[in-house]
Amino acid sequence: MERKTYLHPAERYVTLRDNIEVVLGAQFSLLINFKTGGLHHLNQSASEIMKLFLSGSSIEQVLQHIHTNIDDVKCLLDELHNLKLIDFTVKPGKAPDKDVVAARPELSFIWIEVTNHCNLHCIHCYAQALSGPGNQPDAEQICSWLDQAAALGCRKVQFTGGECTLRHDLIELFKYAKQTGFETIEIFTNGIGLNENLIRFLAENSIHVALSLYSFNAATHDRITGIPGSYEKTMSSLKYILAYNVQVRGSIIALKQNEKEVNATRVFLEQLGVPSGPADPIRPCGRGLDMTNWPSDYGLTFMRTTPDLIVDKQLYDTSLYWNNCWFGKAAITATGNVIPCVFAREQVAGNLNTHTLQEILNNGLLSCWQLSRDKITVCKDCEYRYLCKDCRPWAFGYTGDLIAKSPTCTYNPYTGEWSKAETAMNKK
C-alpha cells in the first residue's frame, strides 16, 4: 500500500491525473482512463464525494461535510490514488467535463440522393424509393449542392438514391465532384446498373463502391428486392468490380426474411474479397417502419445489454457538445431537403430550393447536430453517455420522440441495471 498521501498537511486537494475524466451519472459515476482504456465505477456515495472534490472542496472540507464514515473516504482516496487516477495537490483541480473547447461545426460528410427512382423494390427501403418515374434533381442542382458543400469544407461524399446508377450523367457528376475537391467519393448501389464502362471509370478514378446484398442465397435476396433475377445481376457486376480492383465494401441489412443467412452472407462476401461489417438490422423509417419485417432473433444480438463502449477521447470530446453520429454530416434528398442522415427522413433542416446549405447548416442542421446525449431523456443521467454511440433515427422511428432514449439499449442509469435483450424493443 502506498503512503496515505491525503494525510500530508500541504496536499489538501484531489485532482484527476492527465487523461482521466469523470462522468457523473444518476446512480454511478465513471472514471475513464484514456491512456489505458480502463474504466472505474464509483457508487453513489463515492460519486458524491468525488463531486465535492471536483468542485474544489479540500479533503478537510469533504470530511467535515459528508456523513459517510471517514475511513470510507480515506479508503476511496487510497484506492483511486493507487490506481493512478487521482493526485493529491496543494491547489484545487479541474472541474469535470465540458472543459474542452467545442469543435467548430464543420461539414465533413454528405450523402446526395441523386434520384429517388429505383430498379428494385426492396421491402424495407428507408427512402421509399419508387419504381416508376421518381424525383430526379437536374445535374446543375447537384453541382450547386457539391459546390456549396465543398465551400463549407466538406471533402467526402456518397452518391446514393434510389439507385444512383439509373442516372445517365453519373460519370459527369463524379468528374464534377473530383474537380470541386472531393477526396473521397463513394456510390451506394445495388450494382444492377453498373456496366463495364462505368466500373472502369470508378477504378481509374478511385471511386469507392458500397454494394448492397441481402443474402448469398439468390431466392432470399430476390424475395427482399422484389425483383426475380436481381441477385444474378448484382453478382455479375461484382465480378467486374473485383476484376477492375475497385475498392468495394458490402452492405448487408438484416430483416426477418434473411436473418438466418446474414452471418454466412458476410463470410461469403469476405471470401470473395469484399469486406463488410456485421449486418445492420432495418432502421424504423420509410418502408422499414413495418415491424413485421423486423429480424426478431438476429435483432437480439444487436441490442445493447452490456456497456459496449468506445473508450476514445475524440468521441468523448465530440459527445460533450454534439450528437456523436450526426455531427458534421448532412444528407440531401432528391427533392433538395437537407436532413442529418439518410435515415432521419422527418428531421428536415431546410430545403436547398429556398435556402443555401450554409443557411440550413446555421439553423436547422445545427440544432440536429446539437442533440448531444445531455439532451436525451434517460441517457442524460447515464455515466456511459460520452462513450456510447447514438442513433437518433432508432429512437425517433420507434417512439416518435426525437429525444427519447434508444429502444436498443437496456440500461437503466437510475438503478445501474441492464436487462435482457428480449426486454428491448418491447413497446410494439
Contacts to ligand SF4 by CB under 6 A: 283, 325-326, 341, 343, 373, 378-379, 382, 384-385, 388, 391-393, 405-406, 409, 411, 413
- What is the smallest separation between the CB atom of 405 and ligand SF4, expressed in angstroms? 5
Query: Is the Cβ of residue 189 or residue 372 nearer to ligand SF4 in the bound state?
Result: 372
Report phi then psi at 21, rounded to 5.
-130, 155
Query: Is the Cβ of residue 174 or residue 343 nearer to ligand SF4 in the bound state?
Result: 343
Query: Is the Cβ of residue 241 or residue 388 nearer to ligand SF4 in the bound state?
Result: 388
- What is the smallest separation between the CB atom of 234 and ligand SF4, expressed in angstroms? 22
Contact 311, 415 (CB under 8 A): no
Query: Is the Cβ of residue 26 or residue 171 nearer to ligand SF4 in the bound state?
Result: 26
Residue type, 317: D
Report phi then psi at 13, rounded to 5.
-120, 160
- What is the smallest separation between the CB atom of 376 and ligand SF4, expressed in angstroms? 7
Query: Is the Cβ of residue 112 or residue 378 nearer to ligand SF4 in the bound state?
Result: 378
- What is the smallest separation between the CB atom of 200 and ligand SF4, expressed in angstroms? 31
Residue 390 in grid coordinates: 447514438
- Secondary structure of residue 75 in the 3-state scheme: helix
In whole angstroms, what is the distance from residue 107 CA to residue 114 CA?
19
Q: What angle do CA 19, 20, 25 make, to 5 degrees?
A: 145
Query: Is the Cβ of residue 57 or residue 372 nearer to ligand SF4 in the bound state?
Result: 372
- What is the smallest separation between the CB atom of 386 and ligand SF4, expressed in angstroms? 8
- What is the smallest separation between the CB atom of 133 and ligand SF4, expressed in angstroms? 28
Kindly give the pairing relationship between strand 184-189 and strand 248-251. unpaired
**CB neighbours of 87 closer than 8 A, spacing ≥ 6?**
14, 15, 16, 17, 81, 93
Residue 169 in grid coordinates: 450523367
In whole angstroms, what is the distance from residue 348 CA to residue 370 CA?
15
For 203, which DSSP code? H
